[in-house]
Structures are given as C-alpha cells and as structure tokens.
Homo-oligomer: A and B are copies of this chain.
Amino acid sequence: MSVTIYDVANKANVSMATVSRVINGNTNVKPATRQKVMNAIEELGFRPNAVARGLASRKTTSVGVIIPDISNMFFAELARGIEDIATMYKYHIILSSSDQQKNKELDLFDKMLEKQVDGIIFIGSAITEEHIEAFNRSEVPVVLAATVDESSKLPSVNIDYYSAMKDAVQFLISNKYESIGFVASPLNIHANAMKKQGYLDALKDHQLPENEELIFNGDDTYQSGLEAVRHFLHLNNKPSAVLASSDEMALGVIHGAQDAGLNIPEDLTVIGFDNTRLAKMVRPTLSTVVQPMYDIGAVSMRLLTKLLKGEEVDQQQVTLPHRMITRGSTSEK
C-alpha cells in the first residue's frame, strides 16, 4: 500500500489537515512547519492520490473531450489546442472519439459525467434536441468547439462558416470565374450546411445561376475529392474553379484533375477550406480558407476554464476571424 497523507502527518508530527494544507499551497502554515512536512513528503516519496482528492473535493481537475476522430488531422490539431491550454490550467484531458455517431456521442457524454469530469468540450456533428437536453441536464459546463448548434444558446467557439465560404466564392467571382464547382462536406453537420449556403448566396448575390451539377456531396476524404473532380470533368459545362469544403478533399480535387491531364491553376482553380498542414504539402500549394483549428481548441478550453471558475463571460458564443490565403492553386485574373 502506498504512502498516504496520514503517514506524512505522522512522520512530520503534525495533523493530516496540516499536510493537506501544504500540498494544497494553503498559506496558513508556518514556514517551519511547512518545511517539516515537505521533508517528510520527500523522504516518504509521498504522492497525493487524485482520486481521493476528487472524491473529497468534488473536483477532479480533468475535463472530457469528445471528438469525432482523433486520427483526423483537423481534429488532432484542435485537440492539441485544447490540451495545451488545459495543461496550462492544470487540467487533464480524457479523450474519446465518437466517429460522429450520435449514440456514441451521447454515451461518451454520460461516461464522462460518471468519471466526474469538471467540464466537457464537445466536438461533434449535428446538435440535436437530445444533445441539448443532455448538456443542460449536466451539472458541469459544456463548450462546443468547431461545432455549431442552431439555437445558439450553448457556449461555443467557431468561425463564421457562412461568411468564410461566401468570401471565397466572392474572391473567385471577382476574378472572373463564373462556373464554380462546390464539393460539400456532409450536410447533416450544420457548419457544413452553412458553408454551402454561403456558396449559394454568393452566387445569387452576383446573379449567377445555381447549378445542381456543380455541387458534389463529398464525405471529407481525399478519395471523395478524387471522385468529385471526376464528376465535374464529365460535365458539358465544366467548372473553371472548384471550392472544396475541406483541404483534404481539395487535395483530392487537385490530384484528380492532374491525373486527368489538367494543369492547376491554369485549367482549374482550386480552393480548400481549413488550412491544415496539408495545404502546403501539395503542388501547386493550396489556396484555402483559414480555419484556425488550434486556436478554436485553445479558445474553447480557455472559455471552459472561465466557466469552471465561475468567471463572468460576456460572450459565450465566440466567433474567431477567418481569412483566405492564396497560394499556387489559384490564379488571379
């Protein structure tokens, strides 16, 4: 059996309360006493038991992170942002992948509450009534990261997906592109639906026709980018530019086009979304809409710490700025 606070108290000739005070940095301890205790801790190799602590204090200093898939670059970056801030505030991360399946999401949420996490960061797909109900029923704060709920009532950190995509389309239009293909990410996810709406509305704003053929529903994989471009190239009215809802699909589009003998950007201009590290790891390099994943993670964790400390938070729905980076895959006319 390992050494407890009690053993330390004994060795230092003080009460366990005093030991508790020193390991918790409570100032109400005489320096000499503190030193005695520190020595005893050192000699005994005492290591506080966080579980016992958690039970007694009802705080575990750990937060749950529910994420679609940690092996996906995009989410991994986000996770790192969360983790770094968590570490900074002395929290540990309990991490689980949900594969964006609603029942898994809900199930994980419950399991994390059982573990008595102090708070939860949720990165998911569609936020349903059930999600909201579960979140509200929980005693601990929940913040959504890169996940939008239509009700806009939950604390969350996002960019403005609608405007971001609209801006990208406007960039193309102002460069005289008129036939613009769109590779959508799964639309059951609200953020993706917003991107598509931005695309649609930008066209409308410029009196450009909406063409169903120019919209391909992808699944965020490289493979579906490949398929998208294959689809586009079979059209009579081929697009001169393609906007992909994610960088990975954009890479698929570029390579698919190149495989078909096209030159990027001369024959086809391509724009991605996210600015993952992938964007620079392709030739030509990918122009893309920057979604600051790391920052979204970091800011959402920071927001959670505020909620945890009961600090006043004036704006619970944070919208981070987006911008476009032009690289080799676009040419300005």
Partner of A69, one of B47, B80, B95, B258: B80
A314 at interface by CB-CB < 8 Å: no
Contact assessment for A114 and B49 in the assembled complex, using a CB-CB cutoff below 8 Å: yes
Contact assessment for A255 and B283 in the assembled complex, using a CB-CB cutoff below 8 Å: yes
Of A86-94, A174-182, A315-323, the one with at least 4 CB within 8 A of chain B: A86-94
| 4 residue pairs, one from A and one from B, having the closest CB atoms | A71-B80, A76-B76, A95-B95, A51-B54
Copies of the protein in its oligomer: 2
**Can you name the residue of chain B whose Cβ is closest to the Cβ of A114?**
B50
**Can you name the residue of chain B whose Cβ is closest to the Cβ of A221?**
B277
Contact residues in B for A92 (Cβ distance below 8 Å): 94, 96, 111, 115
In the assembled complex, the Cα of A47 lies from the Cα of B137 at a distance in Å of 13
Contact assessment for B139 and A2 in the assembled complex, using a CB-CB cutoff below 8 Å: yes
Contact residues in B for A2 (Cβ distance below 8 Å): 139
**Can you name the residue of chain B whose Cβ is closest to the Cβ of A278?**
B281
Contact residues in B for A70 (Cβ distance below 8 Å): 70, 76, 79-80, 83
Which of A60, A62, A76, A280 neighbours the largest number of chain B CB atoms within 10 Å of its CB?
A76
Q: 1/0 per residue A1-23: CB within 8 Å of B?
A: 01000000000000000000000
In the assembled complex, the Cα of A96 lies from the Cα of B92 at a distance in Å of 8
Partner of A71, one of B62, B77, B115, B280: B77
Given contacts A51-B54, A94-B92, A97-B83, contact A258 B283 (CB under 8 A): yes
**Given A47-B110, A71-B294, A251-B281, 18 more contacts at CB 8 Å?**
A2-B139, A48-B114, A49-B116, A50-B116, A52-B55, A55-B55, A62-B94, A70-B83, A72-B76, A83-B95, A92-B96, A92-B111, A93-B95, A94-B95, A95-B95, A252-B281, A281-B281, A283-B283
A308 at interface by CB-CB < 8 Å: no
**Can you name the residue of chain B whose Cβ is closest to the Cβ of A75?**
B76
A208 at interface by CB-CB < 8 Å: no
**Can you name the residue of chain B whose Cβ is closest to the Cβ of A222?**
B281
